[in-house]
Amino acid sequence: MQVRLIDLIGVLSRALDLVSRTLGKHHAHVGCMAARIAGRMELSPVMQRDVLLAGMLHDAGAVALHINLESLGFEADIHTHARAGQLLFGNFSGLESVAAIIGEHHTSWAHLADSGMENELALAAAIVNLVDFVDVRLDRTKPYDGQFARVLEAAQREAGGKFNPDCVNVFRDMVAEPDSLSGLFAPEECLCTDAHEQLETIVLNAWEVLGLCGLFAQVIDFRSRFTATHSRGVAIVAQDLARLFNFDVDDRHAMYVAGLLHDIGKLAVPSRLLEKPGKLEEDEFLAVQDHAVVGEYILGGVPGLEKVCEWGTQHHERLDGSGYPLGRSADQLSLGSRIMQVADVFTAITEDRPYRDGMNAEQTANVLRAQVDKGALDPEVVQVLMTHLDDINETRMREQRRAKQEFEAFAEAVHHASLSEIEDNLSSVCIAGGA
Catalytic residue set? 266
The DSSP string of 30-69 is HHHHHHHHHHHTT--HHHHHHHHHHHHHTTHHHHHTT---
Count other Cβ atoms within 10 Å, centred on residue 75.
Answer: 14
**Three-class SS state of 349:** helix
CA 113 remoteness from chain centre: 30
Residue 35 CB contacts under 8 Å (≥ 6 apart), including other chains: 48, 51, 52, 55, 190, 191, 192, 193, 194
Q: What CA–CA distance (Å, rounded) separates 234 from 30? A: 33
Whether the CB-CB separation of 7 and 303 falls below 8 Å is answered with yes
| Closest CA relative to residue 406, chosen from 239, 258, 214 | 214
| Closest CA relative to residue 53, chosen from 4, 18, 118, 19 | 4
Long-range contacts of the stretch 416-423 (C-beta < 8 A, 24+): 417/80, 417/83, 417/84, 417/87, 418/79, 418/80, 418/83, 421/79, 421/80, 421/83
Q: What CA–CA distance (Å, rounded) separates 326 from 293? A: 9
Count other Cβ atoms within 10 Å, centred on residue 300.
Answer: 12
Residue 383 CB contacts under 8 Å (≥ 6 apart), including other chains: none
